[in-house]
């Protein structure tokens, strides 16, 4: 059974979580060029590596950040958004 | 005109022909058999419904301060609970709180009937949960079959609550001493109530238990 650690609720089976996608910085829609905006909307980074991702613990409604190596599927750490320094 | 609301679990209970009664405007199952049968089933593996209790919930960074100003004692740690007078106070995560009166009118009713909470970072939460109770010597065996977690270990601290999945349904779960016996309280989205009731009572019946009415716990 795969496990993931929610920073609020502790370690839980992966079936309790929902993947929310990689964290990406949104360009300013008013300032971005069409190509930059299109790249943000349509393109994703497919190369494996350590990525920051959104995950959601569904029984508690907790969104948090997981730093996961998408090549090895190992999670380095998890923390609430904005509390990276406490992880 | 007075409306009586059906409980979220009522569809799953009709076939057992319970004696129904009204509590807080909700029709709820009071008895599923004679007191002797209820006693025997609750001691082995009983499932009861407490959905009719009055609830009040708020969340947000300002929730703790607002509740404290209303005279509510708050659990100091995330995912823990306490009993204040006759009201169960649950802290769900860091900044969400659920108050539930236990049969008699308490703080949840007082806050629900008062002015709506207003303030910065303060958000009322509507709760229409199905609330179930699992009791008896085989209660933990049932939970072991439907939970991926070792809930016995997680709930060893009696003031801790869990937000996890039971039979693939998201629930809030805690253990509590009720009438001198350890019981397990579950809250889930009301729409999943009939499914969870069906699953838990079916498993309880395998152990020789079954459904138990509210009047077994509260007279």
CA dist., res. A22 & res. A12, Å (int): 21
Q: What is the CATH number of the domain that holds A71?
A: 3.30.2270.10
- Cα distances from B18 to residues A28, B53, B119, B201, B211, in angstroms, run 61, 18, 44, 14, 9
Residue B154: the pLDDT is 86
Q: Is the pLDDT of residue B62 over 70?
A: yes
Residue A26: the pLDDT is 95
Q: Which residue of A has its CA nearest to B91?
A: A60
CA dist., res. B44 & res. B42, Å (int): 5
Residue A37: the pLDDT is 96
Q: Is the pLDDT of residue A60 over 80?
A: yes
CB contact under 8 A, B148 and A60: no
Residue B117: the pLDDT is 84
pLDDT digits (tens, 9 = 90+) for B7-33: 999 999 988 899 999 999 999 999 999
Average pLDDT (A3-14) is 95
CB contact under 8 A, B79 and A58: no
CB contact under 8 A, A16 and B92: no
Q: Which of residues 37-76 of A touch B (CB under 8 A)?
A: 57-62
- Establish if A36 belongs to a structural domain: no
Instruction: Report the share of chain B in percent with pLDDT over 70.
Output: 100
Reported confidence tier of residue B216, pLDDT bands at 50, 70, 90: very high
pLDDT digits (tens, 9 = 90+) for B68-124: 999 999 999 999 999 999 999 999 999 999 999 998 899 999 999 988 888 889 999
| Separation in Å, CA of A71 to nearest CA in chain B | 27
| Separation in Å, CA of A60 to nearest CA in chain B | 6
| Domain count along chain A | 1
CB contact under 8 A, A8 and B78: yes
Residue B1: the pLDDT is 66
This prediction's pTM: 0.91
CA dist., res. A42 & res. A12, Å (int): 32
Residue B106: the pLDDT is 92
Between A1, A15, A59, which is nearest B163 by CB? A59
Put residue B66 in one of left, alpha, beta given phi > 0 → left and psi -120 to 50 → alpha.
Answer: alpha
Composition of chain B by helix, strand, coil, percent to 5: 30, 35, 35
Between B78, B94, B171, which is nearest A59 by CB? B171
Residue B155: the pLDDT is 87
């Amino acid at each position: 059974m795969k496990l993931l650690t929610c920073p609020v609720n502790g370690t839980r089976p992966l079936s309790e979580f929902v993947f929310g996608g990689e964290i990406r910085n949104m360009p300013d829609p008013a300032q971005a060029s069409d190509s930059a905006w299109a790249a943000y909307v349509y393109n994703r980074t497919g190369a494996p590596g350590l990525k920051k991702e959104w995950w959601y613990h569904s029984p508690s409604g907790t969104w948090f950040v997981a730093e996961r190596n998408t090549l090895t599927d190992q999670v380095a750490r998890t923390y609430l958004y904005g509390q990276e320094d406490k992880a | 005109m007075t409306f009586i609301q059906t409980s979220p679990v009522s569809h799953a209970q009709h076939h057992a022909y319970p004696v129904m009664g009204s509590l807080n405007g909700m029709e709820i199952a009071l008895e599923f058999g004679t007191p002797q049968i209820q006693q025997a089933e609750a001691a082995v593996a009983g499932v009861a419904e407490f959905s009719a209790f009055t609830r009040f919930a708020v969340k947000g960074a300002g929730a703790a301060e607002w509740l404290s100003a209303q005279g509510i004692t708050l659990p100091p740690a995330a995912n823990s609970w306490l009993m204040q007078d006759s009201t169960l106070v649950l802290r769900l995560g860091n900044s969400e709180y659920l108050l539930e009166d236990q049969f008699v009118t308490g703080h949840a009713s007082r806050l629900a009937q008062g002015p709506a909470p207003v303030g910065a970072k303060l958000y009322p939460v509507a709760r229409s949960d199905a609330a179930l109770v699992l009791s008896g010597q085989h209660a933990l065996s049932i939970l072991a079959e439907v939970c991926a977690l070792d809930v016995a270990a997680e709930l060893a601290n009696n003031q801790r609550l869990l937000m996890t999945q039971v039979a693939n349904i998201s629930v809030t779960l805690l253990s509590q001493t009720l009438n001198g016996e350890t019981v397990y309280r579950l809250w889930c989205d009301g729409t999943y109530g009939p499914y969870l009731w069906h699953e838990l009572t079916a498993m309880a019946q395998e152990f020789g238990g079954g459904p138990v009415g509210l009047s077994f716990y509260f007279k």
